[in-house]
Amino acid sequence: MNVKTLKRLVSITFLLSTLLLLTSMSQPLVSAEPWHDDKTPYSEDYGWTPVIIELEPVIPWEPEPFIIEPVPFQLITEFDYMLFDHHGGWWYDVEKTSDNTDDDLMCWAAAASNALEWTGWGVTSTFTDTDDMFSHFLAHWVDKGGFMVYGWEWWFNGTDPGGGRIDVSGGGDFWSPEMAATYYHDEWDQDEIMERIDEYLHDGIMTTIGIRPVGGSGGHAITVWGYRYDSTEDDYYTGIWVTDSDDDKGSLSTDPPPNTLRLYDLEWDDANDRWEMSNYGGGWYIEAIMALEPRAGDRPEADAGGPYTGYEGSPVSLSGASSSDGDGDPLEYRWDLDEDDFWDGGWSSTATTSHTWNDDYSGTVLLEVFDGVFKDVDEVTVTILNVPPTVDAGPDQTVDEGDAVSFSGSFTDPGDDTHTYEWDFGDGSPVASGTLSPTHVYADDGVYTVTLTVSDEDGGVGVDTLTVTVSNVAPSVDAGPDQAAYEGDTLSFTGSYTDPGDDTHTYDWGFGDGETASGTLTPTHEYGDDGVYTVTLTVTDDDGGVGVDTLTVTVVNVAPTVTMTHDQPNEQFVLPSVHGVTFTAEFTDPGWLDAHTVTWDFGDGTIEPGTVTEENDAPDSTGTGSATHAYSSTGTYTVTATFTDDDGGSGSDTYVVNVVTAEEAVQDMDDYIQGLPEEDFKNNPEQRKKTLGNMLSEVIEKIMSEDYTGAINKLDSVRSKVDGVGPDWITGADAQLHVLMKIDDIAAYLALL
């Protein structure tokens, strides 16, 4: 948003009956201490004090600094009211010197000077800006604290406030018989301070304030240009926009920089009924206001024209000719062309100027106009477009392949840019960068278009090309020595070639098994079956020259590797007839092109072929076979699974199965119960284990006496102690499951007997 669009004309009607104040009203309250009346010892006065102000954050002026950027889905409730947006002019910030102490206590004079410039009262035949006005104060006044009204009264009619403040006579008295009191306002009631600032700024009255440190001594004077408010907050006022003559005092650094408009937080202090600038130093409160009405007359309206668009390195004409003055006064003009808050040149009666930006730019330009009394500012956007560089890649060249070609490029650019250089030599080689004079060796004959691209830092690109003509020769190939390996082994090949022309080449390998590789002289390969293979290396240059060589690879068969697992219904024991045991065997074979068979030997005289499920994909073949077998009698059996490939290679694995008697199975169950932890029993675990052990001993006795029915019945008695029905002795769920499974398997076997 343009500052100009925010301004509104204010017609100030002076009501003399209201503004003719008593002379005493131009003085502070009798009880008030002057702002910086003394420096040592420290007193309750305003001005510079030895307090280090750590500002957070410093907000320098920038174009449109008073617009709160919208945040998605966030209601904006804070707004700024600025004096110059609504009543014209601009903000001013006279600075004390940074390298001497002659003006340490003159903050009140600096604030008074800012007000004199904005109101027009400071403009005389000698003075036009606040720096000159402040210098006039320093030339006549002692470095001593005071109030802004002292300065205004002296400026208007030469009044000396006394106290030895003026040490050089002859200054001031620019407006006699006008009296500063006629245009002066103040407020010392601290709980009315912000309401009065609000009122004065809305009425177009220039406002300054005196502040004091919270809990400290001393005082200071600064200039007010606006305030921030939030209608949703109980205190309404949330910030105050000021300029401060101490920006450049006490440090040669630029933190904060001089000529800075800054926002400080405002907080209402209920305990003391006053407003505090909480982030100004360690916290300062506002004690009083001193304000000055502007001179009568219309303020000029600055119009910077535009917006403007131009090109880097070329002058852009700017015109403030549309600026106007309601009183018809002639205008003077000055411009800030680089957004540094300093005017580039003095006042000129010429409304136009031109400026050359040596780099692309997007920003604002400020125009200030002056009608001899008042000033006004307008800002306008300026867009300076980048100009790409103009490039010369150099002359065409003719060379032999293998020769080093030297290039010499050049360029011009009207912009003060930095540049990057890239050469594309047209042969697919990596781009060369960082120099205008590279060298290059071509790897093949042909006609090449060489491209030099110069890019500036702003994305501007200039391009030029030249042609390089290169001429040909062909390759002699060595595929390497013969080799021997096992199927599945990784073979490494190392081929080589020579070519008097350093051409680019393609490399193609045929491995004799239907597989090929290309693009490398050192491939690797695995063979999926045994045999004798002829390997061929073909090298082709980019001109069609071909070289060939072969070698022989002898591949030997490898037998499969076998592993076997089993699965039985009861993991503790196997019983005859009742339990069928499932065996699963897996194999791997680095000869992934082999086919395989499987044979099962169950160790009890049963030998039978099985079915193989296999996958014949590199890097090996893998497969499985499975079989289920039930043994008819007890004993220890060795099970063997044998896989055989189609080349006669075989591999096997074994597993030992122990088929137990019914007595052994019952004893296994008793061992399991005796090993259970106490928490698996309802109570009396030792007694329960002993009793269950006795019951299982009876089962074994009945089995040995071939009373199988009695053994089954006794097992049912044991079952009733663990089956989850009625009062159980064993209550652990997992333990119940294991015991019941054992009882069921043993009972089923006994039933067969």
What does the pLDDT average to over 462-488?
A: 93
Model confidence at 20: pLDDT above 80: no
Distances, alpha carbon 3 to alpha carbons 331, 342, 496, in Å: 20, 17, 76
Exposed, middle or buried: residue 200 (CB in 10 Å: 0-12, 13-18, 19+)?
A: buried
Residue 471, pLDDT score: 84
Place of tokens 């993991």: 571
Q: What is the pLDDT of residues 592-648, one digit of tens each?
A: 999 999 999 999 999 999 999 999 999 999 999 999 999 999 999 999 999 999 999
Res. 474 pLDDT band, cuts 50 70 90: confident
Structure tokens at 347: 């006042």
pLDDT band at 568 (very low <50, low <70, confident <90, very high): confident
- pLDDT at position 51: 38
Euclidean distance between CA atoms 348 and 334, whole angstroms: 6
**If you classify domain 476-556 with CATH, what class do you get?**
mainly beta
Mean pLDDT in residue range 2-24: 31
User: Is a pLDDT exceeding 70 seen at residue 166?
Assistant: yes
pLDDT at position 66? 38
CATH top-level class for 561-659?
A: mainly beta
- Half-sphere exposure of 77 toward its Cβ, with a 13 Å CA cutoff? 10
Question: Which residue(s) pair with 277 in the sheet?
Answer: 266, 284
Predicted confidence at residue 257, as pLDDT, reads 65
Answer yes or no: is pLDDT of 287 > 70.
Answer: yes
Q: Write down the pLDDT at residue 477.
A: 96
Contacts of 375 (CB under 8 A, 6+ apart): 89, 90, 117, 118, 299, 300, 368, 369
Is pLDDT larger for residue 230 or for residue 249? 230
More confident residue, 427 or 101: 427
Angle at 433 between CA 427 and CA 436, to 5 degrees: 95
* % of the chain beyond a pLDDT of 70: 88
The answer, yes or no, to whether residue 674 has pLDDT greater than 50, is yes
Interatomic CA distance for residues 6 and 81, integer angstroms: 10
Token pair of 571 as six digits? 């993991």
Work out the average pLDDT over 364-383: 95
Give the three-state DSSP class for 113: helix
Least confident piece of the model among 69-73, 320-324, 719-723: 69-73
The residue-averaged pLDDT of 720-736 equals 90
Q: Which CATH class, in words, describes the domain spanning 308-385? A: mainly beta
Contacts of 111 (CB under 8 A, 6+ apart): 148, 208, 221, 222, 223, 245
The fold adopted by the segment(s) 390-471 is Immunoglobulin-like (2.60.40)
Based on the number of CB atoms within 10 Å of its own CB, is 635 exposed (0-12), middle (13-18) or buried (19 or more)?
middle
366, containing H or E segment: strand 361-370
Query: Residues 380-430: pLDDT tens digits?
Result: 999 999 999 999 999 999 998 888 999 999 999 999 999 999 999 999 999
pLDDT at 570: 79
User: Which residues in 244-270 are b (16+ Cβ under 10 Å) and which e?
Assistant: bbbbbbeeeeeebbbbbbbbbebbbee
Residue 567: pLDDT band by 50, 70, 90 thresholds?
A: confident
- Between 357 and 50, residue with greater pLDDT: 357
Domains in the chain: boundaries:
3-292, 308-385, 390-471, 476-556, 561-659, 662-752
Whether 252 shows a pLDDT value over 80: the answer reads no
Query: Band of the pLDDT at 249, cuts 50, 70, 90?
Result: low
What Rg do the C-alpha atoms of the chain give, in angstroms? 51
- Percentage of the chain beyond pLDDT 90 is 76
Average confidence (pLDDT) over 456-477? 92
Take residue 212 and report the two structure tokens written for it.
């004091």
Closest CA to 222 of 202, 206, 243, 205: 243
98, pLDDT greater than 60? yes
Average confidence (pLDDT) over 179-197: 95
Closest CA to 564 of 654, 657, 658, 656: 654
Residue-level pLDDT at 63: 35
Highest mean pLDDT among 33-37, 444-448, 515-519: 515-519
Is residue 212's pLDDT more than 90? yes
The neighbour count for residue 515, using CB atoms within 10 Å, is 14
How many residues would you count in the chain?
753
Give CB contacts under 8 A, 24+ apart, made by 172-176. 172/140, 174/121, 174/124, 175/121
Q: How far is CA 368 from CA 299, 342, 556, in A?
A: 12, 11, 96
Q: Answer yes or no: same fold for 308-385 and 476-556.
A: yes
Does domain 3-292 fall under CATH 3.90.70.10? My reply is yes
Give the residue, 64 or 655, on which the prediction is more confident: 655
Work out the number of other CB atoms within 10 angstroms of the CB of residue 612.
17
Query: pLDDT at position 400, please?
Result: 87
- Angle subtended at Cα 634 by Cα 632 and Cα 637, rounded to the nearest 5 degrees: 90
Q: What is the pLDDT of residue 2?
A: 37
CA-wise closest residue to 119 among 429, 469, 375: 375
pLDDT greater than 90 at residue 582: yes
**Confidence at residue 35, expressed as pLDDT on a 0 to 100 scale:** 54
* pLDDT over 60 (residue 740): yes
Average pLDDT of the residues in 185-203 = 96
More confident residue, 51 or 119: 119
* Tokens at 11, concatenated: 């017609």
Does position 18 have pLDDT exceeding 60, yes or no?
Answer: no
Q: Is the pLDDT of residue 296 over 50?
A: yes
